[in-house]
Chain A
């Protein structure tokens, strides 16, 4: 009888372990759906466009779901730095709490747009590196970097950025890429600039898209 009893207990334990394993694997919190990092160019030539950037931030706040991750940083002379990050957060699982977080972020973005000062240089590569680092840390299901810039990099002396970037699985969107005065003189400069970025992103394993018409943003982003 004791042997039978032990066997019965063993079987029950086995079932419980199996059930626990199933629940642990089935009910585990899946990685949040989408991670979006927005880089805002604050250089002298582009800072006038920041009012549109605020609209873009509000659109993203309205589109992202609970559990998604969202970060905003500015691009200035040396963008590979935490001090340039405006905010970065993962929204709460509960919709009501996530809505409160979004309201606070909206206020922060509005305050930033009012008080931002133009930067003398443009370190886009540093910003992208910062964004990739954070997205890899958060590990969302989908990694997206939005670069709100004219894509004209202007590094301070001594800054090294001409190396490959690992962008495997990252979607990079260049948003509102305005044409500079030299571009108007020779449009090939604009195309060469964008093509250089495309090659750099694709060489790093990422996907490159340019969105100049902001109304196309919902279709292209598919959030």
Chain B
């Protein structure tokens, strides 16, 4: 302390010394502040650029993956649609020649029946005029005469012939009606056949239209349009959310399954054995559930419901069917084991309750309807392994979309990070400028003195110049 008796004076002297020292070191200090701020800002901007570069590469890669997966999915859908059309054509139009023959037969039969049922009505008017004329002639001639008798006989004959002709006509009409009645089922059959043909053709047309839509989508994806990319991104997010939800539900199912078989497993592998901090019985139960899920995956894969393992997908149809049967058999056996374990769990629980009751001094009793939960547990133990099989479908969706969603989330985080680093660099740059001003504010007094001195000097120089000019003019 410069003045031990007066700390204020000491502090004042110290501040003045500091200010003077700062004033002396003003230029280098400004350079240091500005240089440090600029270098940090530059480093921040370079870092931000680097992060942005990584983010851009990640975004591009994600876009490629998204479009590639979209293309694959579109190809898969188109392939499936073609297969459906092929099946439809084979099923419906494959039998078209037979249908055509049937239709031709039916048409021919209808034609024949129609020909047979052609109406040939008797010429009633001609008969009537002849009979009328014969009657009038007989009246004119008179009945008793031979001519009259002959005419009358002729009239009677003509009337008989007319009656016979009418009878024949009626008989023919009856036959014709019978033929027409016979034609009705043939008509109906032909109508049904034509409806079948129409349905088949309409179905194929609808499939063709759907195929057109799919092809349009495929072309959009292949052209790497933004609309297609947006649609695929939205679809990925939706699928990711849905599959996550379903997987969570499956996880709960797996937990219930675990609870069903963990206790009885201790009867098989012992309750004291441990693997690390876990009971071996718990690990065994978990392994059984995981094997079931794996078998379910293989089953779905060999049925070509999912495509997680291309090796299985590339197998021949016969090998795949064999594999499907093998995995189903293993699943069936495991389901049987689970059902028996679930029953054993119930027995163990009942035994435990009975023991507790005995130890408490009461008589052990088994409730009357205890068989209901036993059966329920057995059924659950049998059903759950098969239900877990379907985990393969959301799992595939989760795996495929998870990559996209994760990459997009990472890209978002990188974008924010790059922005933050860039912003920090800008702030630091301005902070350097502000630092210089703050430095000058601290040493404002010597600066002001310097300003006055400079002003005075410049004013002196001006005065000298003016005097010189006056002198020279003079």
Q: Is B249 an interface residue (CB 8 A)?
A: no
With known contacts A95-B348, A95-B352, A99-B352, A29–B270 Cβ distance under 8 A: yes
Q: Which of B266, B347, B356 contacts A66 (CB 8 A)?
A: B266
Q: Is B370 an interface residue (CB 8 A)?
A: no
Q: How far is the CB of B36 from chain A (nearest CB, A)?
A: 56
With known contacts A58-B359, A62-B359, A102-B355, A27–B280 Cβ distance under 8 A: yes
Q: CA of A62 to CA of B359 in the docked complex: distance in angstroms? A: 7
Return chain B residues, CB-CB under 8 Å to A205.
none
Q: Is B105 an interface residue (CB 8 A)?
A: no
Q: How far is the CB of A31 from chain B (nearest CB, A)?
A: 8
Q: CA of A29 to CA of B272 in the docked complex: distance in angstroms? A: 7
Q: CA of A176 to CA of B358 in the docked complex: distance in angstroms? A: 24
Q: Is A33 an interface residue (CB 8 A)?
A: yes
Most chain B beta-carbon neighbours within 10 Å: one of A27, A32, A33, A98: A27
Q: Which of A26, A32, A67, A99 contacts B275 (CB 8 A)?
A: A26
Return chain A residues, CB-CB under 8 Å to B273.
27-30, 93
Q: Is B167 an interface residue (CB 8 A)?
A: no
* Chain B interface residue count, Cβ-Cβ cutoff 8 angstroms: 21
Cβ of B272 and Cβ of A66 under 8 Å apart? Answer: yes
Which residues 313-367 of B have a CB within 8 angstroms of A?
347-348, 351-352, 355-356, 358-361
Q: Is A65 an interface residue (CB 8 A)?
A: yes
Q: CA of A18 to CA of B252 in the docked complex: distance in angstroms? A: 35
A-B contact count (CB 8 A): 62
Q: Is A217 an interface residue (CB 8 A)?
A: no
Q: CA of A66 to CA of B270 in the docked complex: distance in angstroms? A: 8
Cβ of B271 and Cβ of A103 under 8 Å apart? Answer: no
Q: How far is the CB of B349 from chain A (nearest CB, A)?
A: 10
Return chain B residues, CB-CB under 8 Å to A33.
272
Cβ of A94 and Cβ of B271 under 8 Å apart? Answer: yes
Cβ of A99 and Cβ of B271 under 8 Å apart? Answer: no
Q: Is A87 an interface residue (CB 8 A)?
A: no
Cβ of B359 and Cβ of A66 under 8 Å apart? Answer: no
Q: How far is the CB of B453 from chain A (nearest CB, A)?
A: 86
Query: Would you give the 0/1 interface string for B269-298, flagging 1 where the beta carbon is closer than 8 Å to chain A?
Result: 011111110001000000000000000000
Q: Is A112 an interface residue (CB 8 A)?
A: no
Closest to B275 in A: A26
Q: Is A61 an interface residue (CB 8 A)?
A: yes
Q: CA of A93 to CA of B270 in the docked complex: distance in angstroms? A: 5
Which residues 35-61 of A have a CB within 8 angstroms of B?
58-59, 61
With known contacts A27-B275, A96-B267, A62–B356 Cβ distance under 8 A: yes
Q: How far is the CB of B357 from chain A (nearest CB, A)?
A: 10
Closest to B269 in A: A93
Cβ of B267 and Cβ of A95 under 8 Å apart? Answer: yes
Q: How far is the CB of A33 from chain B (nearest CB, A)?
A: 7
Cβ of A62 and Cβ of B276 under 8 Å apart? Answer: no
Q: CA of A66 to CA of B264 in the docked complex: distance in angstroms? A: 13
Cβ of B358 and Cβ of A95 under 8 Å apart? Answer: no
Q: CA of A26 to CA of B283 in the docked complex: distance in angstroms? A: 12
Q: How far is the CB of A147 from chain B (nearest CB, A)?
A: 22
Cβ of A96 and Cβ of B274 under 8 Å apart? Answer: no
Q: CA of A99 to CA of B359 in the docked complex: distance in angstroms? A: 11
Q: CA of A67 to CA of B358 in the docked complex: distance in angstroms? A: 21
Q: CA of A106 to CA of B354 in the docked complex: distance in angstroms? A: 13
Which residues 72-92 of A have a CB within 8 angstroms of B?
none
Q: How far is the CB of A183 from chain B (nearest CB, A)?
A: 32
Q: CA of A212 to CA of B358 in the docked complex: distance in angstroms? A: 25
Cβ of B351 and Cβ of A67 under 8 Å apart? Answer: no
Cβ of B359 and Cβ of A93 under 8 Å apart? Answer: no
Closest to B280 in A: A27
With known contacts A27-B280, A66-B266, A99-B352, A93–B272 Cβ distance under 8 A: yes
16 further interface pairs, Cβ-Cβ under 8 Å (given A62-B356, A98-B271): A26-B275, A33-B272, A58-B359, A61-B359, A62-B359, A66-B266, A66-B271, A93-B270, A93-B272, A94-B266, A95-B267, A95-B348, A95-B352, A102-B359, A103-B358, A106-B358
Q: List 25 A-B contacts (CB under 8 A).
A: A26-B276, A27-B273, A27-B275, A29-B270, A30-B273, A30-B274, A58-B360, A59-B359, A62-B356, A67-B272, A93-B266, A93-B271, A93-B272, A93-B273, A94-B270, A95-B271, A95-B352, A96-B267, A96-B347, A99-B351, A99-B352, A99-B355, A102-B355, A103-B358, A106-B358
Q: Which residues of A contact B (CB under 8 A)?
A: 26-30, 32-33, 58-59, 61-62, 65-67, 93-96, 98-99, 102-103, 106
